Structures are given as structure tokens and as C-alpha cells.
Amino acid sequence: MLKRRQLFQFAGVAAVAAAGGAAWMYYGSPRSEALAGGPFRHYPFDPVAADNFQQKLFIPVGSGPFGVLDVAGPLKIRATAASFPLLPGRESPFLLYQTEQAGKAYQNPILRIESGARFTASLDNALQEPTIIHWHGLHTPAAMDGHPASTIGPGGRYAYDFKVNNRGGTYWYHTHAHELTAEQAYHGLASFFLVDDDDQRRVSKALDLQLGVTDLPLVIQDKQFDAQGKLLYKPGAHEAMMGWLGDIMLANLTPNAVQAVTPRTYRLRLLNGSNARIYRLAFVRGNKALDFTVIGTDGGLIERPETVSEAFLAPGERLDVLFDAGQARPGEDIFLRSLTFDAMENEGPAAGPGGMPGMSGMGMGQMMASMSSSRLPLGLEFNILKLSVTAGERVVAKLPATLSQVKPIPTEGATQRKIELSMGQMRFLINGYTFRMDEIAFDVKRGAVEIWSISNPALGMPHPMHIHGFSFQVLERIGSPPQIAAMARFGQGRTVSDLGWKDTVLVWPGETVRVAIDFAHDYPGDQTYVFHCHNLEHEDGGMMINFRVKA
């Protein structure tokens, strides 16, 4: 059996041959250099090459694209097709959420609201296709959640009105259109939903942080572009199954971004907004991974600051980190980087050469070409963002000893439930199900605490599993691969990314991850939510189930 990684080594050769082709003329791909044995990934905006990082990081301000919008009343949000200069000087078709408040216009606003406040918004679908907004991580009634069944057609309107029940934290919102989530999110329909509370303010005050200056929301995404510099999204059969990978890294929609920092502590609210790419994050100076401190995960602050030198971040997950740029001297560069890891795309016998359905009769070259169009295989090392340290007063932050309280969900007498991930017929399944709108995989009792044991077979691939409507706590990782076991410093096999309140957890091949969920809510009647893989191609491909919370 040939693993995908091995295939990539061949595919690399094919990519060299293709690099000088018309598709990459705009980038002036140096064919001769490539053919002469240079790095096959050499292309402008190649994130492996450190000296490519020259575009100023886009930092959200008071209005405009990604503007920070302090929600002060009902919003009218329009999902529209527009264009956006993602690559310098190149407009790309892009999808945007547009809204206004107090005479200011916003596109894909970073919504900020106080915990406990009421959030009221209407969504107008000005696209040519169906859409709906889902509030990722928020505890809302099912009708407010953006379940795929709530998808509205072109010209349609959906009214949202709910109380923000969640504690302070870095949440987000994105399209959840039935079977169109991957394509629409990739083309822009996503942004942050920041919830504020006293704990959050205490941290900001203690560290003298200011949103948009030293407290930076940072969405990380990988994209592909065509010869005209337009976003490219064309998954073939293999990519539809494995997930679409980009080969140009965007931080806040800036390719190869650089940000000047002074020798002080910054808060980075990292969101993996990629369709399928997993990152093994580190802050690197030269060859040395520097310390950083995790203060929050998906559902807000963790209990204590935890200092580490690396962490995985899967699609849908957030990691709130403090990074002390004073670890480098003025004039030095630090890279937020994704380190090498084993992508563990073992796939299983059905996916190997000769065994892949629909691929028999194809030549080797054809098969390679159909595998992945990304020049950046999963697990390869590359840069995401350059921090260039400038002169400035050295400020050494004093971290608070405690950040917040995370009360453990009482699990005594909890219902145990097995969630088994598997693969069949080129699709990934949950408990044998592929998503059907009207099919409920199981019922849970309102108010019940359940422990879900989510198991991923050894022959498979990593899946970031995400629940709607509720948050969970990760109890334990069992059977973790060595690269996870090596990071398991937090008891019961858990890594730093597993701490606190979570709504998405990465489950590696061979692993069982046990999570506790409290299904208490105070909405009237039965509530139906989805549980799905946040690899968006997997989600659209049906790696999703309905579960119903019975009143």
C-alpha cells in the first residue's frame, strides 16, 4: 500500500514539470531552475521561503473589511458576491457578509458582544445560491444555530434572535449551507464572533492589551489561486474525499504576511479557518522554537496560563496565545510556522493505487494529477506569518496565575456513547451514517451528561470533530500516535489544545478521544443539532449526523 505521502513524492516531480506551464506564468515560475533540481515548490508566495514574507498583515480596525463591530442593536447582514484583492494588485471573486452600524459599513465584520447580551440579526441571501449562517461554538436554540436545514435560497431571509449564553471567548461564524459550506467558506463567508466578559477584561487589563494593536484576531487559511490570481477551488475526486489544501498561506486574508512587533507580549487569537489543513504551530527564531503561552481554547479562557513550544490547530479550532516578542532582539525575525508532522493519511486499502474506486484504468501520471493540486502537502513545514521585532521599550508581562474557572462537568453516572468514525465508498462516516437531512442518528436527554468516546480507525486520517449547540470537555486521549503522545503533558493523554471548553477536537488515526457533554438547555421542546467533521469537504461529503436533544 502506497501512502498519500509517498505518492506526494512522485507528485512533486509532476509538479515540477507542471510549474512552468501556462497556469503559473503569472507568477513567472522559474521553469529552468525547477528543472535544474531546485525546490519543486518554488513559486512566488511559496510559504516555505522565508524571504517571501513581505505583505503587511491586515489588522482589523473600526470599519471596512474585518472591521471590529461592537454590536449595539439589530444587524442586517447581506451575503453577497463581491471581489477582494487577496493577492496584491489582483482582484479575486469573493463572498462577503456586508452590514452597517452607526453609518459605518463592514464586510465580514468581527462581531464583538458582551456575554449575556441579546443578538439580533437578519441574513439576506443576495447570492445566486442557497446559504445560511452558523454561529460556531455558540449555545443557541436549534432554530438559531444555522443547521443545514435552515438554509435559505437566493433572495431569502433568515431572522436570528438569541441570547449570547457563552462565556467570553473567541468564537466565529460562517456559512453552513447544505453541501456548499466548503466552497462558500473558502470564498470568504466566515469571520470572528468575539464574546467579552469580566475574565476577558481582567486579562486584557493585566497585560495591557488592546484589540487590533496588541490583541490580534488572526485567522489562518490556505488557498490556491489560478493564473489570474483568482481563488481556485476545484476539488477532484481525491480532494473531495481527503479535503482541499491550498498552497498559499493567508493570515487575515494577507498572503505571506509580516507584522512589526515591539519587545512585549501580544495576544494572538488564532483561528484555523482552513477547509482541511491542520497546523502544528510554533514560533520560531532561526531554528529554535520559542515559548508561547496558551490562555484560551475554543470556549474562552483556560484555568491557568500554560507555556508550551508547539500546538496542533485543526480546522474550526481556536487557540488564544500570548507571545512575548521580547524573546528576540530588535532587527530579528520570528516566524509563526507550521512544523513538520506525520499527516497520517493512511487511508486504508480501498484508497491505495489499484484499489481506489473510479481510478482503475488510469495511468500513474493521471492518477497523480488527480490526487492533489496543492503544492504544499499536509505535514510539510512552512511559514504562516513573520513577526519582525522593532526597537521599543522592553515590557515583561506578568501573567496572572489564574485566568478563569473551568468547572469540570460532573460525569458520575453519565451515559456512555460510542462514536465510531469509519470510511466506506469514498466517504467518511459517523456510526455508519452519511448525512441525511431528515435522519436522526440518536436522541439524548435534555439535561443529561454524556461521555462520547470518539474512535478513529488506525487506517484513516485525522478528523476534527465538531458539535453544534453545546461545548464539551476533553477527558482523555487513548491510543494517540507518537507525535501527539509527545505533547500530552496535561494528564489523560491530553495536549494543551484539549484544555478548557471545546467545541472541536482533533481525533487522529488509532485514537479514541473521550469528551464529556452536558446537554442542559432552557429552550422549549426538542432541539436537533449536527455533529460533524470540520474538514469542510468531509462535512459536505456527509461526515455529519443529526442528534436530537429530547425535551
Residue 41 in the binding site for ligand C2O (CB under 6 A): no
**What is the grid cell recorded at 222?**
490556505
Residue 494 in the binding site for ligand C2O (CB under 6 A): no
Site string for Cu ion, 462-491 (x = CB under 5 A): -x----------------------------
CB of 1 to Cu ion, least distance (A): 20
CB of 275 to Cu ion, least distance (A): 11
Residue 468 in the binding site for ligand C2O (CB under 6 A): yes
Q: Helix or strand or coil: residue 17? A: helix
If contact means CB under 5 to 8 A according to the sort of partner, which of Cu ion, ligand C2O, none does residue 147 touch? none
User: Please, are residues 297 and 318 in contact by the beta-carbon 8 Å criterion?
Assistant: yes
Residue 532 in the binding site for ligand C2O (CB under 6 A): yes
Q: Which of 174, 269, 502, 514 binds ligand C2O (CB under 6 A)?
A: 174
Q: What is the DSSP secondary-structure string of 431-467?
A: TTB---TT-EEEEEETT-EEEEEEE--SSS--EEEEE
CB of 504 to ligand C2O, least distance (A): 7
If contact means CB under 5 to 8 A according to the sort of partner, which of Cu ion, ligand C2O, none does residue 532 touch? ligand C2O
Which residue stretches of 251-394 are H helix?
364-371
If contact means CB under 5 to 8 A according to the sort of partner, which of Cu ion, ligand C2O, none does residue 174 touch? ligand C2O
Strand stretches in 142-277, DSSP E: 157-163, 169-175, 190-196, 215-225, 231-232, 248-251, 254-255, 257-261, 265-272
- Specify whether the backbone of 242 is left (phi greater than 0), alpha (psi in -120 to 50) or beta: alpha
If contact means CB under 5 to 8 A according to the sort of partner, which of Cu ion, ligand C2O, none does residue 167 touch? none
Q: Which of 136, 269, 337, 514 binds ligand C2O (CB under 6 A)?
A: 136
Residue 176 in the binding site for ligand C2O (CB under 6 A): yes
Residue 463 in the binding site for ligand C2O (CB under 6 A): no
Residue 183 neighbours by CB under 8 Å, 6+ apart = 233, 540
Q: Which of 535, 544, 545, 549 binds Cu ion (CB under 5 A)?
A: 535
User: Please, are residues 134 and 176 in contact by the beta-carbon 8 Å criterion?
Assistant: yes
Q: Which residues of 224-242 are buried (b: 16+ CB within 10 A; e: fewer)?
A: bbeeebbbbbebeebbbbb
Q: How many residues bind ligand C2O (CB under 6 A)?
A: 9
Distance between CA atoms of 511 and 462, rounded to whole angstroms?
A: 9
Residue 299 in the binding site for ligand C2O (CB under 6 A): no
**What is the grid cell recorded at 73?**
442593536
If contact means CB under 5 to 8 A according to the sort of partner, which of ligand C2O, Cu ion, none does residue 47 touch? none
Distance between CA atoms of 123 and 262, rounded to whole angstroms?
A: 40
Residues of the shown chain interacting with ligand C2O in the complex, contacts defined by CB under 6 A: 134, 136, 174, 176, 316, 466, 468, 532, 534
Contacting positions for Cu ion (CB under 5 A): 136, 463, 533, 535, 538
